[in-house]
Chains A and B, each alone.
Chain A
Amino acid sequence: MLDSIGVDSIDDLFDEIPAHLRAGVLEAVPHGMNEMDISRLMRERASQNSTALCFLGAGAYEHHIPSAVWEITTRGEFYSAYTPYQAEASQGTLQLTYEYQSMMTALTAMDVSNASMYDGASSLAEAILMAVRANRKSKSRKILIPTTVNPVYRKTAHTIVKGQQIELVDVPYDHAAGTVTLEQVKQIQAQEGGDITALVLQQPNFFGCLEDVDAITDWAHENNILVIAVINPLTMAVLNPPGNWGVADTNPGADIACGDGQPLGAPMSAGGPYYGLLCCKQALVRQMPGRIVGRTVDLDDKEGFVLTLQAREQHIRRSKATSNICTNQGLVVTASTIYMAIQGAQGLENTAAACFANNNKLVEKLTAIDGVKKVFAGSHFHETVLQLDKSSGRPASEVLAALMDKGVLGGFDLSLDYPELGSAILVCATEMRNDDDIEIYAKALQEVLNMSAATAAQLAESA
């Protein structure tokens, strides 16, 4: 090979690089390993991670995943293919993506889905950018976001949209219901001068409570405000999906729906990869960022699939693109599509309903303990806010640490993001938690709350 090139050594191939800039030995990179040794290392590392019983949600959920899902997903033909630019050699990925788009529009009752975004939080950011492009009648670039929207979603959206002079305006929630009221929304709208570009609504919201989506959606549309739904797609098997929000005859439904697809077949995996779902009304399709697959025909009129509407994208439009995004989360979407196909609507409904029922059981058991109470009235989906009696004098973080010591991942500490709730935690039970698991949690919590404050503090310290 060197002869064909006409050089004496491989090193000659780097002779255009200035010699004084050449790298020395990469001292801080260890020596290479073989597969046997790496396997040993990774098994050790994996075994250092927690095996606690999980009652934590807050945006990532432990659900059952059929074995077939990732066995097929990690077939080399899916795993090691690239973006389907050569459509004829990528019909597998393209058809699967079209099927994903079809399933996601069915689940959300929206007209159009793209091929996915990075995750739920970043898909909210893209939904906001999309709304600003689409709502040409609004000049304010102001977005109303209730504080019942996942706090990290709000933070992520802020990071991504702030460069474009878009203002995210908080809407406080009703402290009895744990949801936003139409009155609150109207009040903030008035304070902000009336012209609002879009409004975000999360269903179920971060507290697990159910927002009054119909009334707020209709009001928003009367006021020329686009509605962005943030949803947990699994719950849409049971809950009214965003495409059907509102009771008005004209212009029904959220305009854009986004959320995290993790509950549909992606393992928790320390935070990802998951994927962001992004759907919209037909009228907004040309404002949609990311990849979209369309069905078409070949020269023989045979059905086939291609990436379409590429004129929106960065590799064509460069600085005028709808977004800089190119990658979607193809492999996770592959898993999710297979998951939805195996479950079907009935499987998803049964799963979602089991989450709802198990969470209710959990809340019933835990609130039977002295000093534990439910904070918000009304229905909860598979998460609920519980307040730990202040008289125990113990912050939520200490209680959670003591639970962890007993092998229970007890929930999300709300005190940093919602100090007004006092010592409060967000608990979650999915279809994976059975009665025995719930009993273990209840017993552990009882013991922790009975513990002296001193012992608990000591435990928290050692954790």
Chain B
Amino acid sequence: MLIFEHSSKGRRGAPQSPAEKASVTSIPENLLRKDSAALPEVSELQAVRHYTRLSQKNFSIDTEFYPLGSCTMKYNPRACNSLAMLPGFLNAHPLTPDAQNQGFLACMHELQSMLCEATGMSAFSLAPMAGAQGEFAGVAMIDAYHKSRGDDARKEILVPDAAHGTNPATAVMCGFAVKEIPTLDNGDVDLEALKQAVGPQTAGLMLTNPSTLGVFERNIEAIAKVVHEAGGLLYYDGANLNAILGKIRPGDMGFDVIHSNLHKTFSTPHGGGGPGSGAVGVAERLIPFLPLPTVTRDNEQYRYLTAEDCPQSIGRLSAFMGNPGVLLRAYIYMRFLGREGMVRVAEFATLNANYMMAEAKRRGFTLAIDGRRASHEFIITLKNEAREHHVSAMDFAKRLLDLGYHAPTTYFPLLVPECLLIEPTESEAKEALDGFMDALEQIKQEAESNPEILHAAPQTLPVKRLDEVRAAKQLDLAFKAEL
């Protein structure tokens, strides 16, 4: 039942707004609203109950194991939330003079420094509001860098075919053409193809390492050399930073610009689809182009750098300072971890993934890439099950929901047929990993003995499988109340 269907004329959370409507008659009549907006009319309790019940229809990290590959669904410590919501932070107007905003700016300055250290970059901007905006900022900086040198012919961004869809979409938004580079069966980039592809038209290469296939790119130094010798820059997509935190730094691998998904590696909540944060870090030569604002410290005082300080900046990406509440949560999380904790993150995320991968193999699943170390995630392909029993990766995913586990990422990366991309994160105990593997094995047996169970899944959730084709064809995107 929709909140609108709980409506009763004249009902509202009365203590939450002024009792009477003040006169607005001095506004010209043609500029005034003629009707009342058709919003729900419910009591505060009705709203509270409705949305509490809705929340109970979600899977979440706090309630289920959520091994969604490439999304790093780790525990979000509760203190990160409660401390970021202290009144001193919540009530700060974004345009408060810097002198009266020192507590917040100190956190941001330290966050920039910690990110530099953890990634081996020279400077960071916290402005981008999500991974995709971080990518945008990174590619726009690459463009600005080449143009600042009068090198106007670099019109092409190279992207491995295993890359996230955002990479090519971002390059196009920045005005570049995209060329895809093939991936070898062992998961490494095809270095020979890369050598053929680079040239004076190459602006840069966007790379995720460990790759979306869940393995570390072993030829990273050779790749960096090829791209740099062609005059291009190397972009690091930080989607998988959790796998290598404190173990190897993108800056030391030769990357010139990176974005870090703070909502993955640094545990800010995913919130049902955001807000995220895609902070960008750069090597020395790209510092002048960083998006605004960044935070600096002079004479013991923190302040925002502006366009006057940074005339070559690619500019602003939001009205204020990205998503400060998210940045605060990442800052608090990093202070919890400290330098030792960061290394432990990568170690236990990697241990958990390799353990699950070994278990998957032992239980008869086919690994997408066998004989290599898993990073913080790995892929199984269900192509044999699909061929022999006519069950798909999606069927497995839906059946997992019935058994109380959020499904892994399905059908990504696109290169691997019928795949599940599994990322346990460092937060989970061995019992959770074993429970999940037992469930997966049970489903495999069901696929052999009674595939109908898989086709009919899920059965235990608020709804059964939903008609997505109908949703796209008979568009119903908003409830229209009858007044």
The complex places the Cα of A318 from the Cα of B413 at a distance, in Å, of: 12
Contact A29 B107 (CB under 8 A): no
Query: Is B196's CB within 8 Å of the partner chain A?
Result: no
Contact A56 B95 (CB under 8 A): yes
Since A32-B339, A50-B101, A330-B271 are in contact, a sample of 10 more A-B pairs with Cβ atoms closer than 8 Å, ordered by chain A residue number, is A26-B339, A99-B4, A155-B307, A214-B30, A241-B37, A297-B470, A314-B165, A324-B135, A327-B129, A350-B22
Question: Which of B54-62, B280-288, B382-390, B441-449 makes up part of the contact surface?
Answer: B54-62
Which residues of the other chain, A, contact B321 by a CB distance below 8 angstroms? 270-272
Which residues of the other chain, B, contact A271 by a CB distance below 8 angstroms? 94, 318-322, 324
Q: Which of B412-456 contact A (CB under 8 A)?
A: 412, 430, 456
Which residues of the other chain, B, contact A45 by a CB distance below 8 angstroms? 88, 103-104, 106-107
The complex places the Cα of A51 from the Cα of B99 at a distance, in Å, of: 12
Set B23, B218, B477: member contacting A113, Cβ < 8 A: B477
The complex places the Cα of A59 from the Cα of B316 at a distance, in Å, of: 15
Which residues of the other chain, B, contact A153 by a CB distance below 8 angstroms? 319
Which residues of the other chain, B, contact A93 by a CB distance below 8 angstroms? 58, 272-273
Query: Is A16's CB within 8 Å of the partner chain B?
Result: yes
The complex places the Cα of A426 from the Cα of B3 at a distance, in Å, of: 38
User: Which residue on chain B has the smallest CB distance to residue A357?
Assistant: B22
| Binary contact track B235-266/A, C-beta < 8 Å → 1, others 0 | 00000000010111100110000000001000
User: Which residue on chain B has the smallest CB distance to residue A101?
Assistant: B478
User: Which residue on chain A has the smallest CB distance to residue B217?
Assistant: A16
Set B20, B246, B458: member contacting A350, Cβ < 8 A: B20
Q: Can you list 28 A-B pairs with a CB-CB distance of less than 8 A?
A: A18-B221, A23-B249, A32-B336, A32-B338, A43-B86, A44-B103, A48-B102, A50-B92, A50-B96, A52-B96, A74-B81, A75-B55, A101-B478, A118-B130, A156-B318, A160-B173, A163-B174, A163-B175, A213-B31, A240-B30, A272-B129, A272-B325, A291-B273, A305-B466, A325-B133, A341-B39, A341-B47, A379-B27
Set A44, A89, A156, A357: member contacting B401, Cβ < 8 A: A89
Which residues of the other chain, A, contact B36 by a CB distance below 8 angstroms? 345-346, 349
Contact B12 A344 (CB under 8 A): yes
Q: Which of A53-92 contact B (CB under 8 A)?
A: 54, 56, 58-60, 62, 64, 66, 68, 70, 72, 74-92
Query: Is A176's CB within 8 Å of the partner chain B?
Result: no
Which residues of the other chain, B, contact A111 by a CB distance below 8 angstroms? 478
Query: Is B232's CB within 8 Å of the partner chain A?
Result: no
With contacts A10-B351, A21-B221 taken as known, whether A86 is within 8 angstroms of B91 at the C-beta atoms is: no
| Binary contact track A393-409/B, C-beta < 8 Å → 1, others 0 | 00000001100100001
Query: Is A216's CB within 8 Å of the partner chain B?
Result: no
The complex places the Cα of A115 from the Cα of B271 at a distance, in Å, of: 13
Q: How far is the CB of B381 from chain A (nearest CB, A)?
A: 19
Set A1, A236, A298, A332: member contacting B466, Cβ < 8 A: A298
Q: How far is the CB of A100 from chain B (nearest CB, A)?
A: 9
| Binary contact track A13-46/B, C-beta < 8 Å → 1, others 0 | 1111110011101111111110100110111111
Q: Which of A278-324 contact B (CB under 8 A)?
A: 285, 291-300, 302-306, 308-311, 313-321, 323-324
Contact A84 B273 (CB under 8 A): yes
Total interface residues on B, using CB and 8 Å? 193
With contacts A18-B221, A271-B320 taken as known, whether A88 is within 8 angstroms of B463 at the C-beta atoms is: yes
Set B23, B170, B338, B476: member contacting A357, Cβ < 8 A: B23
Contact B97 A401 (CB under 8 A): yes
Contact A348 B37 (CB under 8 A): yes
Query: Is A47's CB within 8 Å of the partner chain B?
Result: yes
Q: Which of B28-69 contact A (CB under 8 A)?
A: 28, 30-34, 36-42, 44, 47-48, 50-52, 54-63, 66, 68
> Which of B59, B253, B466 has the most chain A CB atoms inside 10 A of its CB?
B466
The complex places the Cα of A106 from the Cα of B44 at a distance, in Å, of: 20
Contact B274 A330 (CB under 8 A): yes
Q: How far is the CB of A53 from chain B (nearest CB, A)?
A: 11
Which residues of the other chain, A, contact B18 by a CB distance below 8 angstroms? 350-351, 353-354, 431
Which residues of the other chain, A, contact B409 by a CB distance below 8 angstroms? 85
Q: How far is the CB of B378 from chain A (nearest CB, A)?
A: 12
Contact B52 A72 (CB under 8 A): yes
Set A21, A42, A314: member contacting B83, Cβ < 8 A: A42
With contacts A122-B317, A268-B92 taken as known, whether A23 is within 8 angstroms of B247 at the C-beta atoms is: yes
Query: Is A453's CB within 8 Å of the partner chain B?
Result: no
Contact A344 B117 (CB under 8 A): no
Contact A409 B96 (CB under 8 A): yes
| Binary contact track A328-346/B, C-beta < 8 Å → 1, others 0 | 1111101001101111111
